[in-house]
């Protein structure tokens, strides 16, 4: 069970290698919500997402033997890149299992951070089996993207920094998918001050966490339909029990509301935020009447989104990427 | 003639209403350039551009009589919105002259900041004549976007903050169009430490400042061809003489190089930067060999760019803007 102390210790452990991301405000959004909103910009974190915090915290706590055997994860998203970079910075070998139809840009980015990529079929079974085979063959340690205490404690350091820098927050809002970020944020908030209210945003097309909390049982995420691709996973026993204890309410938002919030981040705050990262602002806007007058901390979880739709307007210029 | 003291005083005058914008770094860009680069993010300034600093400094220094008569500018760009907001915050009436074919989004944004919009024909003559007529009829004060000491001193406060926060910068790079930002930045840099080298980036399709400095005479900007729409103007006598005295060199960059730099800002730094704002990074990348090992401050001038090409991918969702 992750404690507030674990998050304080994680903060000390990882602070020299994580970015202390800026906390930004927007007078437009304050006016729209009639509240004071402080955005913790984890889209500006290394690898473009909060995931780097947990991955680094996990790799730091390997034994020497485990370090020598390396780490493994199955992910085609932010966790893969986060673990690859964290491992590489600490001279640990990383192996990432990816479906063979993964976009080349993600494969190359993860490889660029130093990981070995092993391809599998595009099914959950194949991913799990391939990962288990690597663990067996190499003795590598499987690092789950959220069902892992070190990952949760590391994720909680983003909210902790926000709480330490902005006095007297009334509310913290984070997105929920598998629940790692929300778990860590809620432990940080309640540990810092038990009166802080913790809210979550979840896509209505992937509302398994909402239903799980309502009914007191974990529902799997079956065929989720949302553009927030980072939030399509379901809770684990570990994240479910933390969230049940700490989180007041999950606010459901539609994809239309997510895109509106995303556009506000881009247009008014000049921040590139991925759909999952805009879910907390969408939730805040939906609940603005009940939250009016509050001092609110919002975690922007990440900013990794395909920019081709924007930059293709310049394709007559024959721009090649540097990287 | 603007002095370093003017910039220090401008900083005191405007500090409570301007955003002290964050200074961000990117390990990717440091690696690419083999240098340490500090980005002063004026795209995160109010109205999305450094222009707010100068406009606010100018409005603050009006006499009571002038305040009562209001301010006027002809601009369809960032200066218009900056002046409208600055005036509105200080309870001064603003009138902005815009060509009648200006995009509705710019007209509405400027009106949203409290300005009265007066339309003119789409010619320089019509803009100037209309502005002169308003000045004559109302006694309003015309605030030029860069050929104005208060505007230049205000613009210089961005570089000043950067110099105060980051110790021992070797080089400062700013974009050049009319030369207001470059003038202010160069006076701030040389006043802070005469040994700091000041460089500028300019689009090769609008290279009038480069040619003006080379030949010692101001060339007009004739039919400039560049996507960096904020940099299509030419120097004034005022900015020419400041730049001639303080700036080591103007580095020309192509539109392809500007888009590459812009994409780096978006993709690796998660910052929405307009083409003009990416010109200094483009210049730095072009000169990376000669700048290797240096500690470099870069001014990102603004982030106002049409985001429809990105968000139109979601149009099936029928997203309406909040604002």
pLDDT digits (tens, 9 = 90+) for A111-142: 999 999 999 998 888 988 999 999 999 999 99
A263 closest CA partner among A240, A281, A248, A250: A281
| Strands of A59-192, DSSP E | 71-74, 94-99, 116-120, 141-142, 171-175
Nearest CA distance, A38 vs chain B (angstrom): 14
**Chain B residue at shortest CA distance from A258:** B319
**B98 bridge partner residues:** B119
The confidence score (pLDDT) of residue A319 equals 54
Optimal mutation site among A46, A310, A311, A318, interface B, most CBs of chain B within 10 A = A310
The confidence score (pLDDT) of residue B246 equals 98
Tell me the C-alpha distance between B227 and B212, whole Å: 21
Interface contact A323, partner B, CB < 8 A: yes
Interface contact A318, partner B, CB < 8 A: yes
Tell me the C-alpha distance between A225 and A227, whole Å: 7
**A37 bridge partner residues:** A296
Q: Which chain B residues are within 8 Å of A227, Cβ to Cβ?
A: 314
What is the overall mean pLDDT for chain B? Answer: 95
For B59-69, the pLDDT digits (tens) are 999 999 999 99
| Strands of A223-287, DSSP E | 249-253
Optimal mutation site among B270, B303, B320, interface A, most CBs of chain A within 10 A = B270
pTM of the model: 0.95
Q: Do B272 and A270 touch (CB under 8 A)?
A: yes
Tell me the C-alpha distance between B97 and B74, whole Å: 4
Q: Do B24 and A22 touch (CB under 8 A)?
A: yes
Q: Which chain B residues are within 8 Å of A310, Cβ to Cβ?
A: 266, 307, 309-310
Nearest CA distance, A24 vs chain B (angstrom): 9
The confidence score (pLDDT) of residue A265 equals 98
Q: Exactly one of A26, A75, A76, A185 is catalytic; name it.
A: A76
Nearest CA distance, B260 vs chain A (angstrom): 7
The answer to whether residue A51 is catalytic is: yes
Q: Tens-of-pLDDT digits for all 323 residues of chain A?
A: 999 999 999 999 999 999 999 999 999 999 999 999 999 999 999 999 999 999 999 999 999 999 999 999 998 789 999 999 999 999 999 999 998 888 888 888 899 999 999 999 988 889 889 999 999 999 999 999 999 999 999 999 999 999 999 999 999 999 999 999 999 999 999 999 999 999 999 999 999 999 999 999 999 999 999 999 999 999 999 999 999 999 999 999 999 999 999 999 999 999 999 999 999 999 999 999 999 999 999 999 999 999 999 999 998 775 554 44
The confidence score (pLDDT) of residue A318 equals 57
**B96 bridge partner residues:** B73, B117
Q: Which chain B residues are within 8 Å of A44, Cβ to Cβ?
A: 24, 269-270
In three-state secondary structure terms, A175 is strand
Under 8 Å between Cβ of B202 and B185: no
Give the CA angle between residues B215, B220, B226 to the nearest 5°. 105
B230 closest CA partner among B171, B300, B131, B297: B300
Q: What are the residue numbers of the active site of B?
A: 51, 76
Under 8 Å between Cβ of A299 and A158: yes
Interface contact A285, partner B, CB < 8 A: yes
The confidence score (pLDDT) of residue B80 equals 94
Q: Looking at the partner chain, which of B317, B321, B322 has a beta carbon nearest the beta carbon of A255?
A: B317
Q: Taken in order B296, B302, B306, B311, is the CA torsion positive or negative?
A: positive
Q: Which chain A residues are within 8 Å of B256, Cβ to Cβ?
A: 317-319
Confidence of residue B323 (pLDDT cuts 50, 70, 90): very low
The confidence score (pLDDT) of residue B155 equals 98
- Binding-face residues of B in 125-184 toward A, CB within 8 A: none
Q: Looking at the partner chain, which of A32, A272, A322 has a beta carbon nearest the beta carbon of B272?
A: A272
Mean pLDDT of the region B178-187: 98
Q: Which chain A residues are within 8 Å of B205, Cβ to Cβ?
A: none
Nearest CA distance, A129 vs chain B (angstrom): 33
Q: Do B270 and A269 touch (CB under 8 A)?
A: no
Q: Which chain B residues are within 8 Å of A270, Cβ to Cβ?
A: 41, 43-44, 48, 271-273, 303
3-state per-residue secondary structure call for chain B:
CCCHHHHHHHHHHHCCCCCCCCEECCHHHHHHHCCEEEEEEHHHCHHHECHHHHHHHHHHCCCHHHHHHCEEEECCCHHHHHHHHHHHHCCCCEEEEEECCCCHHHHHHHHHCCCEEEEECCCHHHHHHHHHHHHHHHCCEECCCCCCHHHHHHHHHHHHHHHHHCCCCCEEEEECCCCHHHHHHHHHHHHHCCCCEEEEEEEHHHCHHHHHHHHCCCCCCCCCCCCCHHHCCCCCHHHHHHHHHHCCEEEEECHHHHHHHHHHHHHHHCECCCHHHHHHHHHHHHCHHHHCCCEEEEEECECCCCCHHHHHHHHHHCCCCCC
Is residue B249 pLDDT above 70, yes or no? yes
Mean pLDDT of the region B261-285: 97
Interface contact B266, partner A, CB < 8 A: yes
A163 closest CA partner among A209, A121, A195, A115: A195
The confidence score (pLDDT) of residue B103 equals 82
For B289-321, the pLDDT digits (tens) are 999 999 999 999 999 999 999 999 998 775 554
Confidence of residue B26 (pLDDT cuts 50, 70, 90): very high
Q: Do A48 and B256 touch (CB under 8 A)?
A: no
Interface contact A214, partner B, CB < 8 A: no
Is residue B322 pLDDT above 70, yes or no? no
Residues B95-101: contacts with CB under 8 Å, at least 24 apart: B95/B70, B95/B71, B95/B134, B95/B138, B95/B140, B96/B72, B97/B72, B97/B73, B97/B127, B97/B130, B97/B131, B97/B134, B98/B74, B99/B126, B99/B127
Q: Do B266 and A310 touch (CB under 8 A)?
A: yes
DSSP H or E segment with residue A185: helix A180-192
The alpha helices in A4-77, defined as continuous H runs, are 4-14, 27-33, 51-60, 64-69
For the question of an ipTM over 0.85, the answer is: yes
């Amino acid at each position: 069970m992750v404690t507030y102390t674990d998050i304080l210790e994680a903060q000390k452990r990882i602070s020299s290698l994580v970015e202390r991301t800026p906390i930004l405000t927007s007078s437009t959004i304050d006016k729209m919500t009639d509240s004071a909103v402080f955005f913790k910009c984890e889209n500006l974190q290394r690898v473009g997402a909060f995931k780097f915090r947990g991955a680094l915290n996990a790799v730091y706590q390997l034994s020497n033997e485990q370090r020598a055997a390396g780490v493994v994860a199955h992910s085609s998203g932010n966790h893969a890149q986060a673990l690859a970079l964290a491992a590489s910075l600490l001279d640990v070998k990383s192996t990432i299992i990816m479906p063979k139809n993964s976009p080349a840009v993600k494969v190359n980015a993860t490889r660029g951070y130093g990981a070995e990529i092993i391809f599998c079929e595009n099914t959950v079974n194949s991913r799990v089996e391939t990962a288990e085979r690597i663990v067996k063959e190499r003795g590598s340690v499987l690092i789950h993207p959220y069902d892992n205490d070190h990952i949760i404690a590391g994720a909680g350091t983003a909210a902790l920094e926000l709480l330490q820098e902005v006095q007297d927050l009334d509310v913290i809002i984070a997105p929920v998918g598998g629940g790692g970020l929300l778990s860590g944020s809620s432990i940080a908030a309640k540990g810092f001050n038990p009166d802080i209210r913790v809210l979550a945003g979840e896509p209505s097309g992937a509302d398994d966490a909402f239903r799980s909390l309502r009914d007191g049982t974990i529902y799997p995420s079956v065929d989720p339909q949302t553009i927030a691709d980072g939030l399509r996973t379901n809770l684990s026993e570990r994240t479910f029990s933390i969230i049940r204890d700490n989180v007041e309410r999950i606010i459901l938002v539609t994809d239309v509301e997510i895109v509106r919030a995303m556009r506000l981040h881009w247009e008014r705050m000049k921040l590139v935020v991925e759909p999952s990262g805009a879910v907390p602002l969408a939730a805040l806007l939906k609940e603005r009447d009940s939250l009016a007058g509050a001092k609110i901390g919002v975690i922007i979880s990440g900013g990794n989104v395909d920019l081709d739709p924007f930059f293709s307007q310049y394709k007559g210029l024959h721009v090649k990427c540097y990287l």
